[in-house]
Amino acid sequence: MGLDFTVVPKFFDVIFIGVGWTVAITIAAGLLSFFGGIVFAVVALYGPLLVRLPFRLFAWLFMGTPLLLQLFLIYFGLIQIGIDLPAFVAGVVGLGLHFAVYNSELIQASILAVDKGQNEAARTLGLSRGQALRKVVIPQAVRAVIPPIGNNMIALLKDSALVSVIGVAELTLAAQQAIGRTFRPFEFYVTAAVCYYFINLALEAGLRRIERHIQLSR
Amino acid sequence: MSDAPFIEIRNAAKSFGALEVLKDINLTVEKGQIVAIIGPSGSGKSTLLRAINELDPLTSGEVWLDGVQINKDLPFRQYEKHVNQVRQDIGMVFQHFNLFPHLTVRGNITLAPKMLKGLSDKEVNELAEEQLKRVGMLERIDYYPSQLSGGQKQRVAIARALAMKPKVMLFDEATSALDPELVEEVNLVMKQLAEEHMTMIIVTHEMGFAQDVCDRVLFMDQGYVVEEGSPDVVFRNPTQDRTKDFLKKHLQGQN
């Protein structure tokens, strides 16, 4: 049986919707992982002990266990305790929190690396601890780790394929649906791979733009 | 309260662990006075300056500014509130400028007035322009710090401090990190402030500047104020051997 890519165009609509969902999940989970990462970093560094300790446990849980398992737990497991999330939301929460923990580690280290004089200058002007952190320290810390956070975003895009297992009709699941109807795994997996590649190119171009934009302000 | 000194430091002492860096320091500064603090490194002069705005709180002693005790002993939250309030009256300029690199010159100057004084965008912009004009940096208002020279950065840092309309300005070796050819532009701004009768306390290694601009000079060594007086007295006729030694070494170094 030879390869026949002519079947692919017939499923463009399915693939196209898959691309849409993949982009939507990546953007939503990416935003959650970015802002969640900042919040987690602040909590981990400055939160009261009673918050910090459970948080360490939570971070360890998210970093030390497979993302796939976390998605199962959030989607199928939480129903048992009455939290019934739609598949898309469960996927965004799982991916977003997972990468938020990784981003938080980067941002924590970066906050500690901001020159002490920055905080002193802010405090000297009369800013409170919180104001100095929010307006002076965190913006600098985040700018410094934009490139590695960008790498996490690329990893997030690729790992978004995992949410196919909880039934979100994103690109990988769309390819599988097309395969189920045509029995042409090679053609559709390659098609999906090409789509991921182009989404990735767009993401990287976006990240480069952001890096260029903040270059002067570092 | 009106006959109390503008700034008064009483029996100030400070130790980091077993290391005593300030030992029983007393200092009064009148409104409009300009005081230079000189001395070898490690003498405690920067620590004294940083004690005035509670960056390095004293171990014991009192700091007063315009009838208000700066280092009040208060419960944590009240203390923070108090300190945030009084620091608005104390401008500080650092050796390494400490401009906020993520903000433009305008952003650096308007940040604190906008947050703390409840001024409108229009008001803070006018304020920024006014202060930048004062230090001759108006044409760089939309630049980022990374686009400025060291001297320009320090002038912006001075404008940033002035924008809070402080009652006193503290200079912590404001020209020590600058290339020699950039020192003068910062000195000129400081001289101009002196002519406007800004109260200033200046930690410096520049004896020439201290002599020209300051009303009084303090020589510190090993945590003590060893000698104090008018620039003429301290520089020309010092009474203490340690002062003489220091000045001799310093003047040799400059020739």
Look up the ipTM and state it.
Answer: 0.92
Q: What is d(CA A122, CA B70) in angstroms, rounded to the nearest whole number?
A: 18
Those residues whose C-beta lies under 8 Å from the C-beta of residue B241, and which sit 6 or more positions away, are none
Mean pLDDT score, B65-74: 94
B146 and A CB contact within 8 Å:
yes
Set of chain A residues whose Cβ sits within 8 Å of the Cβ of B112: 122, 125-127
Q: What is d(CA A194, CA B243) in angstroms, rounded to the nearest whole number?
A: 77
- Beta carbons of A110 and A142 less than 8 angstroms apart: yes
Instruction: Specify the amino acid at residue B214.
Output: C
- Beta carbons of A138 and A42 less than 8 angstroms apart: yes
B146 and A120 within 8 Å at the Cβ level: the answer is no
- For residue A143, the chain B residue with the least C-alpha distance is B102
B55 and A125 within 8 Å at the Cβ level: the answer is no
B117 and A CB contact within 8 Å:
no
- Beta carbons of A93 and A85 less than 8 angstroms apart: yes
- For residue B145, the chain A residue with the least C-alpha distance is A217
- Assign B255 a pLDDT band (cuts: 50, 70, 90): very low
Q: What is d(CA A28, CA A170) in angstroms, rounded to the nearest whole number?
A: 13
Q: What is d(CA A41, CA A112) in angstroms, rounded to the nearest whole number?
A: 10
- Beta carbons of A185 and A11 less than 8 angstroms apart: no
Interface test with B, best of A125, A135, A143 (most B CBs within 10 A): A125
Highest CATH level, class, for A5-217: mainly alpha
A121 and B112 within 8 Å at the Cβ level: the answer is no
Q: What is d(CA A21, CA A27) in angstroms, rounded to the nearest whole number?
A: 10
User: Vertex A213, ends A210 and A217: CA angle to 5°?
Assistant: 120
Q: B96-154, pLDDT tens digit by residue?
A: 999 999 999 999 999 999 999 999 999 999 999 999 999 999 999 999 999 999 999 99
Q: How many CA atoms lie within 13 A of B173 on its CB side?
A: 16
Per-residue pLDDT of chain A (218 residues), as tens digits, is: 689 899 999 999 999 999 999 999 999 999 999 999 999 999 999 999 999 999 999 899 999 999 999 999 999 999 999 999 999 999 999 999 999 999 999 999 999 999 999 999 999 999 999 999 999 999 999 999 999 999 999 999 999 999 999 999 999 999 999 999 999 999 999 999 999 999 999 999 999 999 999 888 87
Q: What is d(CA A108, CA A37) in angstroms, rounded to the nearest whole number?
A: 9
Handedness of CA B18, B24, B30, B36 (dihedral sign): negative
Chain A nearest CA to B234, separation (Å): 31
Q: What is d(CA A77, CA A68) in angstroms, rounded to the nearest whole number?
A: 13
Interface test with B, best of A110, A111, A116, A124 (most B CBs within 10 A): A124
- For residue B54, the chain A residue with the least C-alpha distance is A124
Q: What is the pLDDT of residue A2?
A: 86
